[in-house]
Amino acid sequence: MASIPTKVQINEEGPREGFQIEKGNIPTARKIELIDSLSQTGLNRIQIVSFVNPKAVPGMADAEEVVEGFNKKPGISYVGLWLNDKGLKRAIDSGRLEVKGSVSLSASEPFLMRNQNRTQEENIPLQHKTMEMFKANNVAVTRGAVMAAFGCNFAGAISPDTVLATITTAKEIAAAHGFKLEQMMLADTMAWGTPAAVKRLVGAVQDKHPELNICLHLHDTRGMGIANAYAGLEMGVNTFDAAVAGLGGCPFAGHAGAAGNVCTEDLVFMCDEMGIETGINLEALMESARLAEEIVGHPLPGSVMRGGSLRALREQVAAARAA
């Protein structure tokens, strides 16, 4: 078995995940305030907007203004999300984002039908077109992604074999255009995962596609997020997506108020306490988390921002001993 990594890469997706799903209009200036706050925490990759149809996602209608307004800090990759040519064009035109391509597939056909209204068979030529689009725009493709990798509300459990085959397809699509995938994101889009399932799937991918670095994108809808991340760590996974304060919610949950992405500061807390380097300042990140909560105006799922880190307690204990 792999050993727990000494260092992990945490990709922050809170601004995009969060502002996309929040009801009500969050002022552009406040979105920028959160992004600027996150830039002070040591995070080195922050997804700040999605370039989607403003009619479909009104909360992202100000994507260009957000991209124009935030304070770009050297050493940080600021990225955006898009779902089609138009979105990619907007991301490139914004001029302030790192634009990288990916092959994004779904392990569940019913989810693909529901989400993008196409079959797996119809999706393949569209993915090839997307690769052409990346090429035409001089955008490199090194990442792949498999949605619904653990289970699907519309297809049930997803077997590791299905995911392995989906990854093979992604590699073939990339290769047909001269791209070589280096990283594969496995997304537990609808929170079907458990630690045992994470170990099973990650192990299978490591065996079959050993050249790929695995990134876990875990939703916390059923409270398994941190446990699933720990299972990933135990398998040697060193890259995680997460959202500050647990921003994001879950559009597929059974009840309103369900948690979204695994919470960044809770993940950083676990890593810190287990001696795993993240490069992130937990105290600063907790401030960002409280700011996020203030901005959305309702409680967010993060635990450490409420329970407190152990730093101040350790300092008190040390001070009491010295006295």
Give residue 308's region: left, alpha or beta (phi > 0; psi -120 to 50).
Answer: left
CB atoms within 10 A of CB 169: 18
- Residue 190 phi/psi, 5-degree rounding, is -115, 20
Binding test (CB under 8 A) with a second copy, winner from 177, 270, 281, 284: 270
- Residue 317 phi/psi, 5-degree rounding, is -60, -45
Would you say 114 and 162 are in contact if contact means Cβ atoms under 8 Å apart?
no
Active-site pick, 215, 250, 263, 271: 250
**Distance between CA atoms of 287 and 305, rounded to whole angstroms?**
8
DSSP line for 219-253: B-TTS-HHHHHHHHHHTT--EEEEBGGGTT--TT-
Is 281 a binder of a second copy (CB under 8 A)? no
Q: How far is the CB of 95 from a second copy (least distance, A)?
A: 38
**Can 215 be counted among the known catalytic residues?**
no
**Distance between CA atoms of 189 and 216, rounded to whole angstroms?**
11
Binding test (CB under 8 A) with a second copy, winner from 95, 178, 210, 254: 254
Binding test (CB under 8 A) with a second copy, winner from 253, 281, 284, 287: 253
Binding test (CB under 8 A) with a second copy, winner from 5, 239, 269, 292: 269
Structure tokens at 58: 């009104």
Is 227 a binder of a second copy (CB under 8 A)? yes
* Window contacting a second copy (CB under 8 A); options: 53-61, 62-70, 134-142, 267-275: 267-275
Is 303 a binder of a second copy (CB under 8 A)? yes
* Window contacting a second copy (CB under 8 A); options: 125-133, 163-171, 210-218, 258-266: 258-266
Is 31 a binder of a second copy (CB under 8 A)? no
Q: 3-state class of 213 per DSSP?
A: strand
H or E element that contains 81: strand 77-82
Which among 158, 147, 307 is positioned nearest to 219, based on CA atoms? 147
User: Residue 125 or 156: which CB sits closer to a second copy?
Assistant: 156
CA distances from 39 to 71, 147, 269 (A): 8, 28, 18
Would you say 138 and 178 are in contact if contact means Cβ atoms under 8 Å apart?
no
String of contacts with a second copy for each residue 187-206, x by CB under 8 A: ----xx-xxxx---------
String of contacts with a second copy for each residue 121-160, x by CB under 8 A: ------------------------------x-xxxx----
Binding test (CB under 8 A) with a second copy, winner from 54, 125, 257, 279: 257
Applying CB under 8 A, the site for a second copy has a residue count of 55
Is 306 a binder of a second copy (CB under 8 A)? yes
Which residues, in sequence order, are bridge partners of residue 243? Answer: 263
Report the interface residues with a second copy, using CB under 8 A.
Answer: 4, 151, 153-156, 191-192, 194-197, 220-224, 226-227, 229-231, 250, 253-259, 263, 266, 269-270, 273-275, 299, 301-310, 312-314, 316-318, 320
Give the catalytic positions in this structure.
250
